[in-house]
A and B are shown apart, each in its own frame.
Chain A
Amino acid sequence: MRNKVVTKEEAVSQIRSGSAIMVGGFGQVGTPLLLIDELLRQGQRDLTIISNNVGEPGRGLGLLLEHGRIRKAIGSYFTSNPVVGQHYLRGEIEVQLIPQGSFSEAIRAGGAGIGGFYTRASAGTTLAEGKEQKVINGQLYVLEYPLVADVSLIRAYRADTLGNLTYRKTARNFNPVMATAGKLVIAEVDEVVSPGDLDPESIVTPHLYVDFVVQRGMM
């Protein structure tokens, strides 16, 4: 039977400079920190990061930012890392801000083959400037386009060797939807089990979305 478990070195070496990369996590919860650290070590640069936040100073995506590897960030909330503001004011990073619900739905659309959607979120506000707006059933909506990526780095709890994934508590967040919208999907997990060991009813991400599984705590 196929086995998608590889080392972090092998998995991350598939990523090229200039890639658009989705990274799961809300704050640092559910963030694939091991894969991010390996990306930092391998040196890929000129990256577009699609993630709700850009880490914290000195941690996670914050490290990639501080090392000048991120060209553009697409997400909903970068205020929690003051380093983003510093880089932004120096013109070192481009930022695209999207309401959090539109962000997650744009990724869902990207992974589901949907060409765009209308949402009321941000309609009539400065964030909708330059976007198509339309009155539907008497209310103003904004057209949002799908988001896709070259690579998705996600964090899950348990995987089987086929790549089926389960999650733990609020560490789930953006991970399952990002697993659907990356051309190459790498999952960092706590535990790897054999096919059949995960209850099929509990699998949130079926294996067809996942290319590589990297187990934490393995060399």
Chain B
Amino acid sequence: MSDMDFKAIIAARAALELQDGDIVNLGVGIPTLVVNYLPEGREVFMHTENGLLGVGPTPAPDHVDPDLINASKLPVTQTVGCSFFASDESFAMIRGGHIDVTILGALQVDTRGRVANWSVPGKPILGVGGAMDLLIGAKRVIVTMSHTDRNGNPKIVEECTLPLTADRNVNVVITDLAVFKVEPQGLVLTELLSGATLDEVTAKTGARFDVKLVETTTG
């Protein structure tokens, strides 16, 4: 499977998690692709922590406004009905529970659904950004990531070896092979994606999980 294929599969499945009217904050990487797969007619409002509610699509190169970027520092557009605000207010929205859904990437997820996504192994820890605020503040947290790392090692593990981003668990984990819901007892495998089998997912997952498969909605 090519790089683009697996990202598209994850993004398309994540898009189905968004409900009409949701206020949504998208993290860097795969999450930014989710807007391309929204079901027709579904209206969501994109929030970016650098101070915009109503983020629109990427502009054409000759329509870039240098004062209009998203949290990945990429040029964006503004939608009708958008608003601008300062960073302190933006994070008050986040911590205050006014963001319905955030979709974030992760380096590791543990068996209780807690994530590590802010410090890169072997490098000095020099960046955290808004990840910790989003994880504790958003009403629902969805993680999108490849099922295994570059070397084929599981990213879903019993205990994270990297530092955790929050003590709170996320709600849904979507990989190129599977969807897990996080229940009080831990991870529950609910869907297999990309034609993956239960044996394959079990082999590539480093943590215990329950299985309650529902009908696959995509992939």
Query: A200 to chain B: closest CB distance in Å?
Result: 18
**Interface residue tally for chain A (C-beta within 8 Å):** 47
Contact between B136 and A169 (Cβ–Cβ < 8 Å)? no
- Tell me whether chain B's interface is mostly helix, strand or loop, or mixed: loop
Q: Chain A residues near B50: list those with CB within 8 A.
A: 26, 29, 170, 173
**Nearest A residue to B119 by beta-carbon distance?**
A126
B165 lies within 8 A of chain A by Cβ: yes
Contact between B68 and A170 (Cβ–Cβ < 8 Å)? yes
Contact between B91 and A105 (Cβ–Cβ < 8 Å)? yes
Q: Chain A residues near B123: list those with CB within 8 A.
A: 85
Contact between A97 and B128 (Cβ–Cβ < 8 Å)? yes
A204 lies within 8 A of chain B by Cβ: yes
B:171-199 near A, CB below 8 Å: none
Contact between A100 and B126 (Cβ–Cβ < 8 Å)? no
B163 lies within 8 A of chain A by Cβ: yes
A125 with B164, Cβ < 8 A, contacts A99-B128, A172-B85, A173-B87 known: yes
Query: Could you say which of A80, A89, A98, A170 contacts B51, with CB atoms under 8 Å apart?
Result: A170
A127 lies within 8 A of chain B by Cβ: yes
What is the CA–CA distance of A89 and B126 in the complex, to the nearest angstrom? 11
Query: Could you say which of A27, A88, A124 contacts B166, with CB atoms under 8 Å apart?
Result: A124
B49 lies within 8 A of chain A by Cβ: yes
B124 lies within 8 A of chain A by Cβ: yes
Q: Chain A residues near B21: list those with CB within 8 A.
A: none
A203 lies within 8 A of chain B by Cβ: no
Q: Chain A residues near B95: list those with CB within 8 A.
A: 101, 119-121
Contact between B164 and A97 (Cβ–Cβ < 8 Å)? no
What is the CA–CA distance of A77 and B49 in the complex, to the nearest angstrom? 13
A161 lies within 8 A of chain B by Cβ: no
What is the CA–CA distance of A84 and B127 in the complex, to the nearest angstrom? 11
Q: Chain A residues near B125: list those with CB within 8 A.
A: 97
Q: Chain B residues near A84: list those with CB within 8 A.
A: 126
A99 with B133, Cβ < 8 A, contacts A125-B166, A177-B88 known: yes
Q: List 18 A-B contacts (CB under 8 A).
A: A26-B69, A26-B73, A29-B66, A77-B128, A85-B124, A88-B126, A89-B124, A100-B91, A100-B129, A101-B92, A101-B130, A105-B92, A107-B88, A120-B95, A120-B137, A124-B166, A174-B86, A176-B86
With A76-B129, A85-B123, A124-B167 already in contact, 20 other A-B pairs whose C-beta atoms are closer than 8 Å:
A27-B69, A29-B50, A84-B126, A97-B127, A100-B91, A100-B129, A101-B91, A101-B130, A120-B95, A120-B136, A121-B95, A122-B128, A122-B132, A124-B166, A126-B163, A168-B67, A169-B52, A170-B67, A173-B86, A176-B86
Give me the interface of B with A, judged by CB distance under 8 Å: 48-52, 65-69, 71, 73, 78, 84-88, 90-92, 94-95, 123-133, 136-137, 163-168
